[in-house]
A and B are shown apart, each in its own frame.
Chain A
């Protein structure tokens, strides 16, 4: 790295990929893959997401790992940032649930309400 301009160039290039606002293009799905996420079963979830996205030839969908999202109790957690939408947080995921998220939410734009953190809170699991 020799100059700030160079850094800025990389930043601009990477920016769209991580654009978390609603004006982003395409979809970004992150899977919480810190120690707690992995021990709660995040790997099969990530694999299912990748597999399902590939099976459906989904372009414009980035599936990636990230660190600790913070609510270890609800791991595995995935978060979806989709064009025109805010962030959606899905909790206590499994491979099957992940497939449903791809089918319903990513492809068909229908948030799977019963898997979201909101639904979890509503159940009053206090």
Chain B
């Protein structure tokens, strides 16, 4: 992706976040959340800075980052398409929808398309079971979906 994430400004923001949180007990998780927001991912460069400032071993931070699915080591696509694979969505046909999106965006589940536009994820229940099956594209939620709705939604982006 063309976007340069490692700008002076972003590192500045990271420093501010670390300063604001470092006194807290258990500061690592809140800082990682912010870092993920700032950089769109938590790569090694960022982990190193956090490790130095918080005096936590890098190995431990790497362990935490890779444990939680919300933190990623690589940047995600411009649009993150999440197909809810919660039980309610699954029994109402989320799998064919996931396959269809995968085919349309030429992106495998858990991966980002080559042009960096889409990241396709099979997400955990997002709690909109009443509208099953549901997908999200960044902040937008689409519910009560049928297969035929999918091309129209993907086209919008």
Question: Hey, which bits of chain A sit against chain B, CB under 8 A?
Answer: 35-36, 38-40, 71-73, 75
Contact = CB atoms under 8 A, between A and B. Distances in A.
Interface string B116-128: 0000000000111
The size class of the interface chain B forms with chain A is 10 to 19
Interface string B128-155: 1111001000000111000000000000
Contacts of B126: 35
Interface of B: 126-131, 134, 141-143
B68 to A, nearest CB: 21
Contacts, number: 27
Nearest to B130: A72
A75 B130 contact: yes
Contacts of A73: 130
27 contacts: A35-B126, A35-B127, A35-B128, A35-B141, A36-B127, A36-B128, A36-B129, A36-B130, A36-B131, A36-B143, A38-B141, A39-B128, A39-B131, A39-B134, A39-B141, A39-B142, A39-B143, A40-B131, A40-B143, A71-B130, A72-B128, A72-B129, A72-B130, A72-B131, A73-B130, A75-B130, A75-B131
